[in-house]
Amino acid sequence: MSRTYITVAIPYVNARPHVGYALELVQADVLARHLRARGDEVRFLGGTDDHALKNVLGAEAAGLAPQEFVDRNAAAFEALRGVLDISFDDFIRTSRDPRHPPGVERLWRACAARGDFYRQWYEGEYCVGCEQFYAPADLADGLCPEHHTPTETVAEENWFFRLSRYRDAIVDAIERGELAIVPDGYRNEVLAFLAGGLDDISVSRSNARARGWGIPVPDDPTQRIYVWWDALGNYITALDYGTDAARFDEWWRGADDRVHVIGKGILRFHAVYWPAILLSAGEPLPTKILVHPYLTAGGEKLSKSRGATADPADVVADVGTDALRWWFTRDVPRAADADFSVERVIARADEDLAHGVGNLVHRVTTMVHRLADGIAPPSRTVDHDDTTRAEFDASIRAYDYRRAVAAVRSEVDAANRAVEESRPWTLPRGSVALAAALGELLARARLVVELLDPIVPGVACRAAAALTPDAAGRLPSPTPLVPLLQGA
């Protein structure tokens, strides 16, 4: 049995969530649910990044105090847990959680004790949307390459972190596979970035520019800690790093896998800055960084700050949680952006969940009722079950969800073919042959349901109930499992 700690990025809460963030939550949740079902120990963390400068600017625009503003928006992010059926074990809000400030402060002091900070006057181009400085060469026609908006020239004295000191150690960790970055294209991107050398980074800002929001720099009340330092720290402050409690030993130092699920836009922060901070503090690195692409709508990036948004709560109100979870898992490629539309989600749900899985379960349970008075014969193990399970397991662990879904879909097809081949309705009532045929079909349907469980837990739960006999050995009366969405 292994122990896995899984996190998602904590989003800044300057607006309501969009469906691109829902993708990340669902992908991480599928992994967490799958590993738990396989008997692993799992701890799964979510949260919100409350200290971003963007939040302060959003609050100013809304005429609210920062705390009131972030509380209001963070509630919509936290509610996604229910909306999307996310199995978080813990949720941290950086401005509200008493575990967070002492943990960030401890992390800072650990790096300070290494001699990794110095003060320096700095002038550079800053994108508030990204919360980062850009070198002139990284700008796209003078604009932020991520947001396509003008940057702001910032000049002030800051604390700098000796990022450059950790370049070789990070390259080593990535090349030796101790820090896996998946898929490979993103690993190569990080290695190429590191090959160009690393500059030290500014990790604080003046109180004036921070508007007094965020965590003060220990022993320097004139500065606030850079929001990315603060936000990345959540992965360990939520494990009581600040008080060095047993949970940190158990779930960070003692985990077999420390997995961060993130979007491609914040790869550098997780694959370079965060490992450097941990190396400086003398703590273990993450073992895996799983990187997902972006969703687009009509080819445009979905983004809170760029207008093209789809609120996951609205989408789920239309199509249901499982339809959205299914589309994310089935159709979003590993490394290329996917174009989101409610129509696509509906088409896939109808094709695979209603017609594929729903019909299979309905068909099998109906036959048990018509041909065997509803009494479920003993489930018969099908030879290739373990091969299918192994393929599914390997695909999920490799963060290749489309391959995992392909294994489920071929299992649905195989079960439907088995119905046609065994033709149970032609077999004599009460015969051993009929019991064997129905037993095999039940086993096949149950395998499909088992595999579906981490992906579409609602559908899987209803299907499992439909396939579970009561104390008298009788299956529930067949009812349609997954309603069609088209035209609903």
Using CA atoms, how far residue 25 sits from 78, 95, 274, 331, 429, in Å, is 11, 21, 20, 16, 49
H or E segment and range at residue 92? strand 90-93
Q: Smaller CB distance to Zn ion: residue 129 or 214?
A: 129
From the CB of 146, what's the least distance to Zn ion, in Å?
4
Using CA atoms, how far residue 382 sits from 25, 37, 265, 427, 446, in Å, is 34, 20, 44, 20, 11
Q: Are 430 and 373 in contact (CB under 8 A)?
A: no
From the CB of 214, what's the least distance to Zn ion, in Å?
19
Which residues of the chain form contacts with Zn ion (CB under 5 A)?
Answer: 127, 129-130, 144, 146-147
From the CB of 144, what's the least distance to Zn ion, in Å?
3
Peptide bond into 183 cis (omega under 30): yes
From the CB of 266, what's the least distance to Zn ion, in Å?
11
From the CB of 51, what's the least distance to Zn ion, in Å?
17
Q: Smaller CB distance to Zn ion: residue 83 or 266?
A: 266
From the CB of 104, what's the least distance to Zn ion, in Å?
23
Other residues' Cβ atoms within 10 Å of the Cβ of residue 171: 17
Q: Smaller CB distance to Zn ion: residue 11 or 356?
A: 11
Tokens 């509906």 -> residue = 346
Q: Smaller CB distance to Zn ion: residue 11 or 358?
A: 11
Q: How far apart are the first and last CA of the chain?
A: 45
Q: Which one-letter amino acid corresponds to residue 161?
A: F
Q: Smaller CB distance to Zn ion: residue 303 or 365?
A: 303
How far apart, in whole angstroms, are the C-alpha atoms of residue 82 and residue 87? Answer: 9
From the CB of 294, what's the least distance to Zn ion, in Å?
14
Q: Smaller CB distance to Zn ion: residue 144 or 404?
A: 144
From the CB of 307, what's the least distance to Zn ion, in Å?
15
Q: Smaller CB distance to Zn ion: residue 127 or 181?
A: 127
Tokens 């979003």 -> residue = 332
User: Helix (H) and strand (E) counts for the chain?
Assistant: 20, 16
Q: Are 5 and 45 in contact (CB under 8 A)?
A: yes
Q: Smaller CB distance to Zn ion: residue 34 or 147?
A: 147
Q: Smaller CB distance to Zn ion: residue 125 or 230?
A: 125
Contacts of 83 (CB under 8 A, 6+ apart): 312, 313, 316, 321
Q: Which one-letter amino acid corresponds to residue 371?
A: L
From the CB of 55, what's the least distance to Zn ion, in Å?
15
- Nearest CA among 18, 83, 21, 19 for reference residue 47: 21
